[in-house]
Amino acid sequence: MTRIDDIPVSWDERTQLTTFLDYTRDTARAKCEGVSPENARRALLPGSPLMTMSGVINHLRWVEYYWFQVVFLGEEDRGPWTDEDPDREMRIAVDFPLSRLLDEYAEQCALNRGLVAGNDLDKQTQGTIRDGLHVDLRWILHHLTEETARHNGHLDILREMLDGTTGG
């Protein structure tokens, strides 16, 4: 995983945004290295029974899908969630090997990298967010970096509780 704590000032905005997002994506994957299949499915927080390492990775994969395919491109939402089960992507994650979830997350990220490369940062979304607002691609990149970084904190805590692994 490439460190990004010494980014040259001369990097353009797009490079900075995509580098930080890729760093948080890579960090999520690194947090899962070496975790056992059993531990990937274990929920340790009594108030958050869906919070498993598998659940977080599957959530990140589907969050990427939602923000790029549904909001940015305006495609029909084909995510696993429903009105009755809005966190279904986290619930069903325990039914799949973590390696598969990580592969699907990597594939979604690669697809989205291509989408970002082919569009201007000022391009407005076809779909809307709450209250019918349209945002631009730049906003989505900022939002996904924040969302992924926040969930990396969850992965940190889960991993330490599961097997004592810290850092990375």
| pTM (predicted TM-score) | 0.94
What is the CATH classification number for the domain harbouring 154?
Answer: 1.20.120.450
Q: Is residue 6 part of a domain?
A: no
Q: Would you tell me the crossing angle of helices 98-117 and 53-65 to the nearest 10 degrees?
A: 20
3-state secondary structure of 124: strand
Query: pLDDT for 128-143, tens place per residue?
Result: 998 999 999 999 999 9
Q: Is residue 92 part of a domain?
A: yes
Query: pLDDT for 17-55, tens place per residue?
Result: 999 999 999 999 999 999 999 999 999 988 888 999 999
Tally the domains of the chain: 1
Give the pair of three-digit tokens for residue 23: 């760093």
Q: Residue 137 is part of which domain span?
A: 13-163
**Mean pLDDT score of the chain, rounded to an integer?**
94
* Alpha carbons 41 and 62: distance in angstroms, whole number: 18
Q: Is residue 5 part of a domain?
A: no
Rounded to an integer, the average pLDDT of 63-77 is 98
Long-range contacts of 37-40 (CB under 8 A, 24+ apart): 37/97, 37/98, 39/162, 39/163, 40/97, 40/98
